[in-house]
Structure formats: C-alpha cells, structure tokens
Chain A
Amino acid sequence: MTRRGSIRQGAKGYLLTFPAFAFLAVFFVGPLIVNLLESFKDDEGGITFAQYARALGDAYYLEVLGDTIALSLVVTIASLLLGYPLAIAIARSRGALKSFLIFLVVTPLLINVVVRTFGWMVIFGRSGFLNSILKFLELDTITLTGTWTGIAIAMVQVLLPFMVLSIASTLEGIDGELEDAATTLGATPLKTIIHVIFPLSLQGVITGTVLVFALSIGSFVTVMLMGTNSTMVLPLLVYQQLNLASDWPFAAALGNILIFVVLIATALQLSLSRKGARR
C-alpha cells in the first residue's frame, strides 16, 4: 500500500471509530472523571490523597484486595479448565446438538443474579439438596455456604458462558485437517489438544480469560448473599461504603483501585495476545 493510501486508511479509521469513541468519552469517561474527582476531594473542597492512604495503608484492605484478585483468578482458571472441553464439544457438534449445547451454556444468564444465588443456597444449605444426596449416599455432609469454594462454584457457573463462547468461536476457525494430520502422525487425542488445538485457540482463551477475570473482579452480589465476613471482596466494601456509610469519596477510591487492577490485567492481555499473534 502506498503511503498516501495508508494515510487515507488512517483517516477513515478514525472517522469510523469516532461515534463509538466519542460516546464512551462522554458517557463513560465523564462519570469516571466525576468519580476520580470525588475520591480526591477533602471536606474543605481541596485535594487530598487521604482516601487512598486509608485504603492502601491498611493491612485489612490490602488483604481484601489480595483475596479479591485471588478469587477472580481461581474463578477464571476454573472456568477455563471446566469450559474448554465444552467449547470443543460445541465447536465439533452440528445441528440440534450444537444448538442445545449453546442453549445450555447461556441458561445461567437467563436468571437474575439474586434469584440464581438463592438457587445455589438451596443447593448448598445445611439440609439442602447437595447434603441430602450426600446423606443418601451415606457420605459426610459438607458446608459450602459462607465459604470461598461455594462462592467460586456459583460464580463459575454464571461466567462459564463468556469463557466457553469466546473459545468456541476461535475453535470454529481451526482447520479440522490439522487435527487429522496430528492424529495420523500418531498423536493421542490429549496430545493433539495440548500441542495442536490449544495453541491455535489461544486468542479465544485470552479473550475469555480477561473477560471472566474482569467480570468476576467487579461482582459482589453472590459474595454478599453467600459469604460471611471471612469471605470479603473489594466490590462488597464499595457497596457498604455507598449504601451504609454513605461515604462516596472512600467508595470511589476503593473503586478506582479496582479499576487500576483491571487495567493492569488488560495491559497484560494486550502484551500476551501480541506474543500469541507472533507465534
């Protein structure tokens, strides 16, 4: 392409992205700036870093931040491991079976998060569904409400569609003959998946991973309903500050810390997917 052509291409690119860009610049960045200003505001209308100092200078808030990131990582990895085979199944199947599998994976999204979490609490309750089955099988009962495990399970269920469909879409694009070639050359199915399919689906994996991580790090309803004080996450603290303490500046600061973490994750994704593209 000539230099002139590429300049024209560039201008066209800016023109076409402008509406979406301008829209977000006003209605997304605008509120974020309001929020940022709020987090730096002190009582006399001056500027202060006190809110950030309060959050970052306190071992408790750092611990909660760590737990929040850890929970999101666990949920993301579990979604990946659990969802990958399902993505393969969706990519391989055709017709009614495929439609059914896709329907299956989106059903968790069809129900309100509060109501769905109540469903989980019925399953995990002391005399709930799960324990009734365990009792029937004469096994030990377990308590999952109020534990990280229970919360993670409930979150994986609803975030799985984002992971599965992201991966399935790249798997659709992979040439089946490559796999056949690998199998013909004597690779076991598992080896084929690890060495042939997985690297090719990396873009989808990265997309799904970042999507699930970002969605889980900002969610709090499941934790609020199923958790206790020992399973605290940052978005829930934001909720408390807004609704109970009526302390918007501190809530804004905590929220900005969360945004910062997600920005880092996104930047990481950017460099990862560049590396992935180079392979």
Chain B
Amino acid sequence: MKIRSRPGSLMVCYLAVISVFLLLPQLIVVVVAFSEASFVSFPPPGYSTKWMVRVLSDPSFMKPLWNSVVLGLSASILAAALALPASIAIVRHSFRGARVIQNFLLSPLSMPALILAIAMLFFLSDIGLGNTYAGLLFGHVVIVLPYLVRTIVAVYSGADPRIEEAAYTLGAKPLSTFWFVTLPMLRPAIFAGGMFAFLVSFDEVAIALLLSNASSITLPVSILTYLTYNYDPAVAAISVIKMIIVVLALLALERFYGLQNLTMQSR
C-alpha cells in the first residue's frame, strides 16, 4: 500500500488512545521497579535503584534469565527448521490433505497449556525423556511451532509463484532456487514468526513449571515461585530487565533487518 494522505485527526486521536492502552500496564511496572518501598505500592513513596541492583546481583534471577534466552532461541530455531519445509510444501505442493496437515500443525496453539504440560510430564517419562533438557525443549517447540507455520504460510501464499518458476525456466536447480529465491523471500516471515516464537517461549510458564529442573529453570518460573511468598518490587525490576533485553533484541532486528518485516508483508 502506498503512502496516502496524512492521517486524519480522528486517526491521530485513536492512535494516542490505543498507545496509552497498550503501554500503561507496562509503564506502571517500570515505575514500581524503581520504588524504594519494600512493598509494591503505586505511586511509590520514593524512588531508588535498589531493586534493580538487587535483582542484577541475584543469581536466582539472572541464571533463569539466561536459561530463558537459551531455551527461547533453541526452541525457535528448532521449530523454524521443522516449520520451513512443511510450510513450503503446504503452499506449493498441492497434495491431498495439505489443508488438514496445516491445521494439525497449528493445533497446539489452541491447547490449554496447563493440560498439555501435565500430560507431557507423564508422557515424557513414559518414553524415557523424563527430567531431561530435551523434554523441556521439545515441549517448547510444540507450542511455538504454530507461530512459525502460520507466518511462513501466510507470507508464502501471498508470494508470486512465477518468480520461482522463472528461476526454474532460466535453468536454476531446485536447491539453488530455494537458496537464492525462496529463502530470501521467506526471511521476513522466518524472522517475524521466530520473534513471536521467542516471545511466547520466553513467557511460557505452565510447561516450564513441570519440565524444567534446577539447572534449566526459566525466568517465568522463578518469577512465579518468587511471587508465591514475596511481595517486594523485585519482580517488577526483573520484568523491566527482561523488557530491556527484548527491546534491545528488537532494535537489533530493526537495525539489521527492519522491524516493519514483522508484519509478515508479502510484497
């Protein structure tokens, strides 16, 4: 779509309101993170960086934070490796049951994580993967896979098949067509889907609560168990640190790739 007339005043109003709506809860968490009180209160009686300092120097938050980054990245990459060929096949190779397979690949999205988590716990121990890192990783791959399939299929079905056909006509081999034509076309989708996948894994708690162990404990789990008995702003502080990390990642993505590709645009 091309740039058209300037946005009307109605649109500007709407954007202002929706910005507040989308940002307000996070802003409150940021403010509380810099509270000097030992209880969560808003507005805080005074401001200090003590909770930030405390959290940054607390291995029971920093280690899970690192674990979550590693888990999120590995799960997203593994899911992308599974989703890419499958999505290409679904869009380009019209085979019987492609639709059904597509919906099957998307179905973990709608699964209440709570039920899935407890069933996974027992299933993984049945097949000899109980209490392993692979179990936790596979659990996360299951729930993030749909995000990748969805974005890649959406973008690829909007892409013009004639471009690839042209490459074939010009004598390119299937593999080089894939490498030089298809993959560049799909890169925005992989990044966008991967970003969603990472964010979902980064915030997933039900599966991690049952499948992580002392060395692989994730940040949402440590936040949740912290909140069971503790009431201070430390949780707000660690949330802010987590937010900063993701924002930095988004900025890097923007720098190298351009954030606009997150809309999975197809042209």
- Tell me the A residues contacting B by CB distance below 8 Å: 6, 9-17, 19-21, 23-24, 27-28, 30-32, 34-35, 38, 82, 85-86, 89-94, 98-99, 101-120, 122-123, 128-129, 154, 157, 160, 165-166, 168-176, 179-180, 189, 203-204, 207, 211, 214-215, 217-218, 220, 235, 238-239, 242, 248, 251-252, 255-256, 258-259, 262-263, 265-266, 270
Contact = CB atoms under 8 A, between A and B. Distances in A.
A85 B22 contact: no
A87 to B, nearest CB: 8
B2 interface: yes
A219 to B, nearest CB: 8
B235 interface: yes
Interface string B91-123: 001111011010111111111111110111011
A93 to B, nearest CB: 8
B1 A176 contact: yes
B123 A30 contact: yes
B52 interface: no
A217 B42 CA distance: 31
Give the contact-size bracket for chain B.
35 or more
B105 A24 contact: yes
Contacts of B239: 111-112, 115
Grouping DSSP codes into helix (H, G, I), strand (E, B) and loop, the A interface class, with mixed when no group exceeds half, is: helix
Contacts of B18: 82, 86
A9 B106 CA distance: 23
A203 B98 CA distance: 18
A112 B262 contact: no
Given A28-B107, A30-B127, A169 B95 contact: no
B29 A34 contact: no
Given A211-B109, A259-B112, A262-B110, A85 B14 contact: yes
Given A9-B93, A104-B19, A169-B263, A110 B154 contact: no
Contacts of A109: 199-200, 203
Contacts of A82: 18
A217 B89 contact: no
Contacts of B265: 169, 172-173
B263 A104 contact: no
Interface string B74-95: 0000000111011011100111
Given A21-B105, A169-B264, A111 B243 contact: yes
A28 B108 contact: yes
B119 A119 contact: no
Contacts of A11: 95
B238 to A, nearest CB: 9
A172 B4 contact: no
Contacts of A90: 263
Contacts of B53: none
Given A28-B108, A89-B11, 13 more contacts: A16-B85, A17-B98, A27-B123, A31-B122, A98-B260, A99-B258, A110-B26, A114-B224, A169-B263, A172-B263, A172-B264, A204-B154, A266-B107
Given A35-B115, A174-B1, A17 B138 contact: no
B186 interface: no
B107 A115 contact: no
Contact of A12 (B93, B141, B254): B93
A13 B18 CA distance: 43
Nearest to A218: B112
9 contacts: A17-B90, A21-B105, A24-B105, A34-B122, A99-B260, A108-B22, A112-B220, A220-B114, A252-B119
Interface in B4-30: 4, 7-8, 11, 14-15, 18-19, 21-26, 28-29
Interface of B: 1-4, 7-8, 11, 14-15, 18-19, 21-26, 28-29, 32, 40, 42, 81-83, 85-86, 88-90, 93-96, 98-99, 101, 103-116, 118-120, 122-123, 126-127, 138-139, 141-142, 145, 149-151, 154-155, 158, 192, 195, 199-200, 203, 205, 219-220, 223-224, 227, 235-236, 239, 242-243, 246-247, 250, 254, 258-260, 262-267
Contacts of A129: 24, 28, 42
Contact of A218 (B22, B111, B155): B111
Contacts of A6: 94
A104 B7 CA distance: 18
A238 B114 contact: yes
Contacts of B264: 165, 169, 172
A100 B151 CA distance: 21
Contacts of B205: 112-113
A32 B263 contact: no
A197 B109 CA distance: 28
Given A89-B15, A111-B242, A27 B40 contact: no
Given A10-B93, A92-B1, A255 B123 contact: no
B175 to A, nearest CB: 13
